[in-house]
Structure formats: C-alpha cells, structure tokens
C-alpha cells in the first residue's frame, strides 16, 4: 500500500512539473499580435505577410496546427525565412508572455 501511494505521488508531482515547464523559444523571435483567417497570409501587427509554404504554427500547448485551420487573434512569436516569409509561429501562453516581458526588463 505504501509503495502504491509513493508511485501515485511521484506521478502527480512529475505531471505538475511538466505542466509548469515553458517551451524553449528562440531568443531572436519577434513578439507581436497575429490575426489569422485561414489563408496563406496573416496580419502581424498592422502588416499582412505571406506564410512560407513550409510554415509551422505551434499552439500554446506546443501542438502543430495547419495554418489553413487557424482563425482568430493571438499574441505570437514569429521567425521568418531568408525570403522574408513567416516560417515559424508560436502562439504564446499567458505564462510565456509574462516570462518574455520580464526578460525584456
């Protein structure tokens, strides 16, 4: 019985630690707002920009989303390719936004 309690406690603690960990985001990404309407382009701040053909969008839960299925307004981290097209987008969680704001200060 004691062993079972110990195993359950360890499982609970490890899941809490995983839930609290933040993703490793690139230092040189640009943080901005994004409005997506399910197409090959998105609004980043006030600019409409093209997504690269290999664009990868990750949700706050770090799951990959097909850009054509993405609708709404988000705070994101963005990286572009050598042609200036957006090729990586990270939708930021509230914890990541707070950590990035603290890092800038």
For the chain, what percent of residues have pLDDT higher than 90? 66
Round the average pLDDT of the chain to a whole number and report it: 86
pLDDT for the residue numbered 15: 47
Residues 6 or more apart in contact with residue 36 via CB below 8 angstroms: 42, 43, 67, 70, 71, 72, 74
The tokens describing 66, both together, are 């097909």
pLDDT for the residue numbered 7: 67
Predicted confidence (pLDDT) per residue in 32-74, tens digit: 999 999 989 999 999 999 999 999 999 999 999 999 999 999 9
Q: What is the pTM of this model?
A: 0.77
Give the H or E element holding residue 11.
helix 2-20
CATH class of segment(s) 2-104: mainly beta
List of E strands, the chain: 30-37, 41-44, 47-58, 64-65, 71-80, 86-91
pLDDT for the residue numbered 16: 46
């Amino acid at each position: 019985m004691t062993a079972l309690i110990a195993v359950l406690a360890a499982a609970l603690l490890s899941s809490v630690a995983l839930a609290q960990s933040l993703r490793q985001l690139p230092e040189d990404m640009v943080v901005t707002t994004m409005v997506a309407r399910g197409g090959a382009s998105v609004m980043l701040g006030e600019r409409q920009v093209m997504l690269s053909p290999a664009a990868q969008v990750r949700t706050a839960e770090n799951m990959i989303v097909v850009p054509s299925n993405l609708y709404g307004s988000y705070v994101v981290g963005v990286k572009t390719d050598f042609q200036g097209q957006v090729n990586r987008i990270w939708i930021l969680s509230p914890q990541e936004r707070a950590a990035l704001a603290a890092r800038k200060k």
